[in-house]
Amino acid sequence: MRLFVAIDLPPEIKASIGYLRGGIPDARWIAAENFHVTLAFIGEVQSPMMMDISLALGRIRYPSFDLDIEGVGVFGSNKRPRILWAGVRPTPAINLLHQKIVTAIESVGAQVDDRRFRPHITLARVHNSPYEKVRHFLTDHALFKTNTIGVDSFTLFSSHLASSGAIYHEEVSFDLLSPVPS
């Protein structure tokens, strides 16, 4: 099964991001219920390895933190965009959580996608979309911002590919530590 670790988003934030969908011909938009922030992509593993990964992730102790979603952008070149995304403000908190998750996964012998970590929410695949439409979308939504989100957990998801797109299933959710009152 294909696995990844992500921050699931509250329904109201998914709905807010969902309003961005549209206006680009030939874009393959992600269903709003699938919006998430990937912390680590693992890929295909066998069931016993999934159990080892779950146990390793369960040992992570990390405090909850706030997350800000703002702006939009693309992966790929400006002339040949591939992925349209909503941005997540990079912070030391999310970067350190990412590192702890990668270390935990690798400690049990599993591999993690080694691309540079750039927190984001994938909105659409735009391989065949007209460049001008993508550029206008980026300009029109440059100031996009949601309310700040309190992150108090992360989740191990499985992903099943279907003709309608990927179907995500929550396998195990892991709570972060509550902040210590001052």
Specify the CATH number for the domain of residue 110.
Answer: 3.90.1140.10
What is the model's pLDDT at position 89?
94
Known catalytic residue at 169: no
Domain-located, residue 74: no
Is residue 19 situated within a structural domain? yes
Structure confidence at residue 178 (pLDDT): 87
Question: pLDDT-based confidence at 148, cuts 50/70/90?
Answer: very high
* Per-residue confidence (pLDDT) for residue 114, from 0 to 100: 84
Q: Compute CA 99 distance to the chain's CA centroid, rounded to the nearest angstrom.
A: 15
For the cut 80, the answer to whether the pLDDT of residue 182 exceeds it is no
Would the pLDDT of 122 be above 70? yes
83 within a domain of the structure (yes/no)? no
Average pLDDT, the chain: 93
Calculate what percentage of the chain has a pLDDT beyond 90: 82
CA distance 174 to 58: 6
What is the per-residue pLDDT for 88?
97
| Total domains present in the chain | 1
- Whether 67 and 88 have beta carbons less than 8 Å apart is answered as yes
Is 81 contained in some domain?
A: no
Residue 77 has pLDDT above 90, yes or no: no
Domain-embedded: residue 108: yes
**pLDDT for residue 38:** 96
Residue 140 falls inside a structural domain: no
Crossing angle (nearest 10°) for helices 47-58 and 92-107: 130
Taking 70 as the threshold, does the pLDDT of residue 31 lie above it?
yes
Candidates 36, 127, 136, 141; catalytic one: 36
156 neighbors 3 (Cβ within 8 angstroms): yes
The 10 Å Cβ neighbour count of residue 26 is: 12
Distances (CA, A) of 56 to 42, 53, 105, 113, 136: 14, 5, 7, 17, 44
- Say what the pLDDT of residue 181 is: 63
Residue 47 confidence class, pLDDT cut points 50, 70, 90: confident
Active site residue 120: yes
Determine the structural domain holding residue 55 and report its residue range.
Answer: 2-68+91-118+148-175
Considering 98, 120, 141, 169, which one is annotated as catalytic? Answer: 120
The mean per-residue pLDDT over the stretch 87-110 comes to 96
Query: Element (H or E) spanning 102, and its range?
Result: helix 92-107
Task: Give the residue with greater pLDDT, 57 vs 164.
Answer: 57
Helix H or strand E segment including 74: strand 69-76
Taking only the tens place, the pLDDT of each residue in 150-180 is 999 999 999 988 877 788 999 999 999 987 6
Q: Is there a contact between 174 and 24 (Cβ–Cβ < 8 Å)?
A: no
pLDDT of res. 165: 74
Residue 76 domain flag: no
In a domain, 104, yes or no: yes
